[in-house]
Amino acid sequence: MRFAHLSDIHLGFQKQEALQKIEQEVFEKTLDECILRKVDFILIPGDLFHNNIPEMRVQKFAFAKFRQVHDAEIPVYVVYGSHDSSPVANSVIDLLAETGYITKVTRVKESENGKIALDFIQDKTGVKIAGFSGLKAGKDREYYEKLDRDSLESEPGFKIFLFHGGISEVKIEQSQEGEYMPLSFLPKGFSYYAGGHMHRFLHYKYADYLHVVYPGTLFSGYHSDLEENAKGQRRGFVLVEFDDKVTSVEFVEIKNADYEIIEIDAENRKADSVNKELADKVKGIDSAGKIVIIKVEGELTSGKTADVDLSAIREYLSQSGALAVNINKNKLTSREYKITEAKGKDKDEIETNVFKENIGQLRFEQKELIGDPGVLLAKKLLKELGQPSLENEKKMEYLQRIKQGAFGILELKIDDS
């Protein structure tokens, strides 16, 4: 017997058309592979979608594919991830579950005396499956603190636990609070722990936790995933063979795209020199049909970060037939225009203090743009620009509304633009 384990597909994450296509293709290819390999069931422990209600395009192809899997009589067992769950609204996961294409695993048997007792779902193969969803900011930690472990651990048979969250013991870099939990929170003695949330394939073995496995993302759920892909990170899903115990855990690679990556160290350099290196390197690659990742980091000795002309590079690459261009200059700073960080007791105070710390760097003739009036204006503008779109508001309408508001704050006529 065998089952497939995939996670962190993040359908709906991509914004560029070419990347959306790849996102859809690898998803469909993966499920086709599952059907082809005649798996007994599929596990998806979270972040199947990038948000709880993705756009209709995404829902359409996802439903179509899951119907095929359903027609092939392959059950799909799912928990919510931190992206596709919502404690206040429904999720497309619920729709898929209602249609019977997927089965939500979390079944709370009873929740008395503050304890949470979970029930198992039994697959036709006899495998018993239980699990918890992952919530944002580690809010699912409470589930594990209150979990009645004894009832889960004493259950005989081949058992699988689905979870969505990082394990602190195997963390490889610092992270936000709540993103990781100790392995000991998971109930012991399961045959397989199907994990989601970590975007790389990981397989760990401990005495009480024989197989703790993360398949990683299928394509990309964060911008940094594309960079890792470009550096050779393999993407795919996990195929598990088992009888009364796991006999093999195999990573099945699903190819997604060809990549080129250009990394520029801008430390102690001027924008002109960076632009030159960038132009030289771009000319030296064959970008046709590939995803091109450009990463510029470091502190420029003078000028603004905007002096590093990436729009021209993007234009050039697009004309050279690049499938998509992904530019990362998050870690590019300038000594001349370095944003000084500031502290505060809350978001509002931090924003005010950051503006106060940095506004002195600006040289304008208009007095309303500098000093305290400038800070006030910047805060108003930030608030206006940070507004979310309204329900059912079209993108163009949203942009127009925000633009009007921002121009109003700056006391400019929209025609002035």
Partner 1 sequence: MEEISIIGQVVGGKFGDIIVRQKAGTILEIGDLLVSEEDSSFLILQVFALQYGSQIQERMQQMMSGVNLEQGVIDAQFYEPEFVNYVLARIKPLARVSKSDGQVKIPKSMPSFFNKLRLISNKDLEFLKKGGDQIFVGHIRSGTKVIKEAEVWLPAEDVFSHHILIPATTGRGKSNLVKTILWHVLDSNKVGALVLDAHDEYYGRRGPGLKDHSNAKNNLVYYTPSSPPAGANRLSINLQSIRPEHFEGIVEFSDPQFQALRTYHRRAGDTWVTEVMRVDPDTVAMNGDNPNRGEFAAVTLSVIQRKLRLILGLERDEEGNLISRHEVFDSTTRGLTTVDDIVNNIEQGKVVILDTSRLGDEAELIVGNIIASRLLYRYKEYKSTGELARKPVATVVIEEAPRVIGEEVLTRKNDNIYSTIAKEGRKFKVGLTAITQLSSVIPKTILANMNTKIILGNEMKQEREAIIASASQDLSEDDKNIASLDKGEAIVTSIFVPFAMPIKIPLFEEMIKEHQGSPKATKTKVF
Q: Which chain residues interact with partner 1 by CB under 8 A?
A: 80, 85, 87, 106, 108, 111-114, 116, 132-133, 135, 142-147, 149, 168-174, 182-185, 204, 206-208
Q: Smallest distance from the beta carbon of 103 to partner 1, in angstroms?
A: 15
306 vs 298: CA distance, rounded Å? 13
Structure tokens at 291: 């995803």
Indicate which residue of 10, 50, 83, 199 is catalytic.
83
Q: Smallest distance from the beta carbon of 185 to partner 1, in angstroms?
A: 6
Identify the burial level of 13 via C-beta atoms within 10 angstroms of its C-beta, where 0-12 means exposed, 13-18 middle and 19 or more buried.
Answer: buried
Closest CA to 147 of 164, 127, 126, 131: 131
Q: Smallest distance from the beta carbon of 225 to partner 1, in angstroms?
A: 18
Count of alpha carbons within 13 angstroms of residue 201, beta-carbon side: 20
Longest dimension (CA), the chain: 77
Structure tokens at 316: 């050039």
Q: Smallest distance from the beta carbon of 139 to partner 1, in angstroms?
A: 9
Q: What is the Cα Rg of the chain in Å?
A: 25
For partner 1, the closer CB: 123 or 140: 140
Backbone angles phi, psi at 317, to 5 degrees: -65, -40
For partner 1, the closer CB: 205 or 335: 205
Q: How far is CA 390 from CA 92, 386, 401, in A?
A: 20, 12, 10
Backbone angles phi, psi at 295, to 5 degrees: -125, 120
**DSSP H helices in 78-196:** 92-99, 141-146, 149-153
Q: Smallest distance from the beta carbon of 107 to partner 1, in angstroms?
A: 9
CB atoms < 10 A from the CB of 278, how many? 21
Specify whether the CB–CB gap between 375 and 361 falls below 8 A.
no
Specify whether the CB–CB gap between 279 and 308 falls below 8 A.
no
Q: Smallest distance from the beta carbon of 163 to partner 1, in angstroms?
A: 13
Q: Are strands 76-79 and 103-104 parallel, antiparallel or unpaired?
A: parallel
Q: Smallest distance from the beta carbon of 209 to partner 1, in angstroms?
A: 10
83 is catalytic: yes
378 vs 359: CA distance, rounded Å? 10
Distance in Å from the first CA to the final CA of the chain = 65
For partner 1, the closer CB: 31 or 117: 117
For partner 1, the closer CB: 2 or 188: 188
Q: Are strands 121-122 and 128-131 parallel, antiparallel or unpaired?
A: antiparallel
Would you name the residues annotated as active-site residues?
83
